[in-house]
Structure 1
Amino acid sequence: MKESAYKNYDELPLFLNAATVAKVLGISPSSGYELMHESDFPVLKIGNRMVVPKEKFVEWVLRHIQGGAD
């Protein structure tokens, strides 16, 4: 597993793209992109662009740490 480039949530940008999601989670860019297509992942679509609001990403991570998807 790759090491995250970010040390805490405060360092994250307001909106995360697939590459940033991948860096934070320590996964490949293609896995980050695939994750953004999952039905329970909090993606905001702006035209053809997909981004994840920082707060929703943090909530998603915490929800999955606490026992899996709802």
Structure 2
Amino acid sequence: MRDDELLTVVEVMARLRLSRTTVYELIRTRRLASIRVGRARRIPVQSVRDFIAGELREAA
């Protein structure tokens, strides 16, 4: 997976095994960076990686 690849909310839901509501809450609280392309919301792969790394740091 390339660092500059953009994921849909559904793809992020599947990768993180989270609900749609939770993913949008992470976006709303800026814990998960995203961009809008027209009406579509896209999340960079690096943003998902950064989120996971941050969660792992907090858990340690």
TM-score (norm 1): 0.61
Paired position in structure 2 for 1:48 = 39
Shift of 1:17: 1.2
Q: Secondary structure at the match of 2:58?
A: coil
Indicate the structure with greater helix content: 2
SS in structure 1 of the partner of residue 11 of structure 2: helix
Unaligned regions of 5+ residues in structure 1, if any?
Answer: 1-9
**Percent of aligned pairs sharing the same letter:** 16
Q: Which residues in structure 2 correspond to 1:14-53 (within 5 Å)?
A: 14-53=5-44
SS at match of 1:66: helix
The size of the alignment, in residue pairs, is 56
Q: Which runs of 4+ in 1 moved over 3 A?
A: none
| 2:48 partner amino acid | F
Note the residue ranges of structure 2 that are not aligned, 5 or more in a row: none
Q: 1:60 aligns with which of 51, 54, 57?
A: 51
Name the TM-score, length of structure 2 as normaliser.
0.68
Greater relative CO, 1 or 2 (CA 8 Å, sep 6+): 2
